[in-house]
């Protein structure tokens, strides 16, 4: 049961300076800062041009009716929020209190870089940029999906710099976004093309998007603490030779619109293409640790959809409520070599539909995909491809996997999951590299679903998650092994995205503001006379406590996290003798 301690602030606002309002549009050609004290809206596409940097202050809200943001290769974005002051990209219709089943109310953030991608382009497709050869040489480029080409190359990504630094995204929430431009061209919640490992991305939330939540094309970008909730297509989608790492990821399938699956109703939880419409190296070779994946038990595709020579390690994770097969390994037919082609096989053009420019040869120097289950990862196996890519060290290209098997699902628990999968009609579960256990006890603290919603004329349905405490419980409390000690992964000993006692969604996400997180309790705060002071007399050591404020006593809207406190085992307090506006305050914990 939710409880709260509330007091009214002692002082009213006096002479506060009026904030400016900015309707942003067009190109940003020199470095600029969007200030938290102003109001911001994007009225059409805003493009940060090469050489410019866009800095967004902590606490800034960008509430738009349409509009989108693109950061070109050669530009940077620094959007560094905090738990107390997140940066929010949202719709003008967001009341910051109540979830709505909508999307496409504005566009998205697309960032382009110069990392290596594996893609040659097939004739006639509208997403094409310049024509490339089938052989990957570190010079391939591609036009970002969803961006209309202007003819100046600013929509392209790709190159030969896997260390590319696009800036920083931290504590950023994206809500009610995406746009469908045409059948195969849509804006994702966050699009990352050719982004390198020097880019910092952590504490990212995507809530409601018409297309994919986060989509990555090539490069080596890594992420931590990502939440992807109620997405209209795939929650996490990676293509074109992405070779990065992610740890602490939450996926909650649902719906963002009354539409068909893939354009408003969730599809695959995680979808990975090794090369996508290309036989080029490098292939997607990546590692995911500590994911909590919650499907839609009434309709949804696979937990993991693996395509086109992908090598993916998933470790120390939780999969729940997956109604279709857990792992679907397939050849998607859009030009990738797929697991069905052996090394040296010639692929001929499809029958007149322009799917291939010309015959080309599959360049694999590793076993077919169905044979990589049970095959230990060995970067030297790719040495023959590196000359084509144009780099000297295979560890630079294939750096995200350091041990184990090329394809893994290990140290993972399955709850209410169809334990299915197929690899050329061979059961996945016979292979080394698979170690997932079906459990009967809920591996998280709590999950509640709302009434069944009928969608798309009754053809689809969804039981949306309305209340969630994703902290580890039961079989998820202890993992059999720690994450690889490589300087990126945290050496945590639990399965799934959350420990037993810290919900890192609290304080900054839409899920938090919309009341979708279970477990808020009275922290036992008491008032001290004079100004605003709140104390917790007997705090729990290591427990997080959130000082929240609102302009109404019921905290029905405009909830702001003023501070985050960490329990010491004894008294902790928050004090501010000079509050500038009349507010109501409470301390909560999870």
Query: Confidence band (pLDDT; 50, 70, 90) for 338?
Result: very low
CA–CA distance, 73 with 196 (Å, rounded to integer): 11
Could you report the per-residue pLDDT of 149-204, keeping only the tens digit for each?
788 889 999 988 999 999 999 999 999 999 876 555 678 999 999 999 999 999 99
Query: Confidence band (pLDDT; 50, 70, 90) for 521?
Result: low
In 3D space, the residue among 469, 533, 545 whose CA is nearest the CA of residue 507 turns out to be 545
Question: pLDDT at position 277, please?
Answer: 60
State mean pLDDT over 275-294: 83
Core vs surface per residue 141-158: b (16+ CB within 10 A) or e: bbbbbbbeeeeeebbbbb
Could you report the per-residue pLDDT of 227-237, keeping only the tens digit for each?
999 999 999 99
State mean pLDDT over 288-314: 88
State mean pLDDT over 274-301: 84
Mean confidence (pLDDT) of the chain: 79
Cβ neighbours for 482, distance < 8 A, ≥ 6 positions apart:
491, 492, 493
State mean pLDDT over 99-114: 96
In 3D space, the residue among 72, 79, 75, 104 whose CA is nearest the CA of residue 90 turns out to be 104
Query: Confidence band (pLDDT; 50, 70, 90) for 245?
Result: very high
Question: Of residues 326 and 549, which shows the higher confidence score?
Answer: 326
Q: For residue 504, give the DSSP letter.
A: T
Question: pLDDT at position 524, please?
Answer: 59
The residue extents of the domains of the chain are: 1-49+521-590, 71-476
Q: What are phi and psi of 219, to 5 degrees?
A: 75, -170
Question: pLDDT at position 354, please?
Answer: 26
Q: Which of 200-204, 499-503, 542-546 has the highest mean pLDDT?
A: 200-204
Among the ranges given (281-285, 343-347, 480-484, 561-565), the one the predictor scored with the smallest mean pLDDT: 343-347
**pTM of the entire predicted model:** 0.83
Q: Is the pLDDT of residue 251 over 50?
A: yes
State mean pLDDT over 62-69: 96
């Amino acid at each position: 049961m939710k409880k709260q301690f509330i007091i009214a602030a002692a002082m009213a606002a006096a002479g506060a300076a009026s904030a400016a309002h900015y309707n942003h549009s067009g190109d940003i050609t020199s470095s600029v800062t969007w200030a938290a004290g102003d109001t911001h809206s994007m009225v059409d596409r805003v493009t940060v041009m090469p050489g410019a940097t866009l800095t967004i202050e902590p606490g800034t809200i960008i509430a738009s009716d349409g509009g989108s943001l693109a950061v070109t290769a050669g530009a940077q974005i620094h959007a560094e929020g905090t738990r107390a002051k997140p940066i929010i990209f949202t719709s003008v219709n967001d009341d910051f209190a109540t979830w709505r089943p909508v999307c496409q109310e504005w566009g998205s953030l697309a960032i382009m870089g110069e990392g290596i991608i594996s893609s040659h382009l097939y004739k006639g497709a509208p997403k094409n940029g310049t024509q490339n050869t089938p052989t990957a040489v570190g010079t391939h480029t591609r036009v970002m999906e969803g961006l209309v080409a202007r003819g100046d190359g600013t929509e392209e990504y790709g190159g030969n710099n896997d260390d590319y630094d696009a800036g920083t995204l931290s504590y950023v929430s994206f809500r009610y976004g995406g746009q469908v431009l045409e059948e195969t061209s849509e804006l994702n919640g966050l699009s990352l093309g050719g982004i390198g490992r020097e880019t910092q991305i952590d504490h990212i939330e995507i809530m409601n998007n018409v297309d994919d939540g986060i989509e990555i094309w090539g490069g080596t970008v890594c992420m931590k603490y990502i939440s992807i909730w109620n997405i209209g297509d795939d929650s996490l989608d990676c293509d074109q030779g992405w070779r990065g790492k992610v740890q602490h990821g939450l996926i909650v399938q649902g719906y963002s619109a009354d539409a068909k699956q893939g354009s408003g109703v969730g599809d695959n939880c995680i979808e990975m293409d090794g090369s996508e419409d290309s036989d080029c190296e490098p292939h997607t070779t990546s590692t995911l640790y500590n994911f909590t994946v919650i499907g839609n038990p009434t309709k949804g595709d696979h937990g993991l959809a693996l395509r086109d020579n992908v090598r993916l390690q998933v470790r120390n994770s939780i999969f729940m409520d997956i109604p279709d097969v857990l792992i679907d390994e397939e050849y998607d037919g859009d030009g990738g070599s797929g697991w069905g082609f052996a090394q040296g096989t010639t692929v001929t053009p499809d029958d007149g539909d322009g799917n291939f420019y010309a015959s080309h040869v599959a360049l694999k120097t590793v076993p077919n995909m169905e044979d990589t289950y049970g095959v230990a990862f060995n970067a030297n196996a790719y040495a023959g491809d590196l000359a084509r890519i144009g780099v000297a060290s295979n560890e630079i290209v294939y750096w995200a996997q350091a041990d184990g098997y090329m394809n893994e699902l290990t140290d993972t628990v399955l709850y209410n999951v169809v334990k299915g999968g197929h690899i050329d009609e061979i059961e996945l579960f016979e292979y080394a590299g698979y170690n997932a256990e079906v459990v009967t006890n809920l591996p998280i603290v709590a999950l509640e679903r709302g009434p069944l919603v009928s969608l798309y004329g009754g053809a689809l349905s969804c039981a949306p998650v309305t209340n969630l405490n994703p902290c580890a419980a039961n079989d998820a409390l202890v993992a059999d092994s720690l994450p690889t000690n490589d300087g990126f992964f945290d050496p945590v000993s639990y399965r799934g995205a959350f420990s037993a006692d810290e919900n890192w969604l609290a304080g900054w996400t839409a899920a938090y503001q919309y009341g979708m997180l279970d477990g808020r309790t009275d922290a036992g705060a008491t008032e001290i006379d004079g100004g605003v002071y709140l104390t917790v007399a007997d705090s729990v050591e290591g427990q997080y406590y959130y000082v929240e404020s609102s302009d109404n006593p019921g905290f029905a809207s405009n909830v702001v996290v003023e501070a985050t406190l960490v329990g010491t085992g004894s008294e902790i307090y928050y004090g501010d003798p000079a509050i500038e506006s009349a507010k109501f305050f409470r301390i909560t914990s999870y």
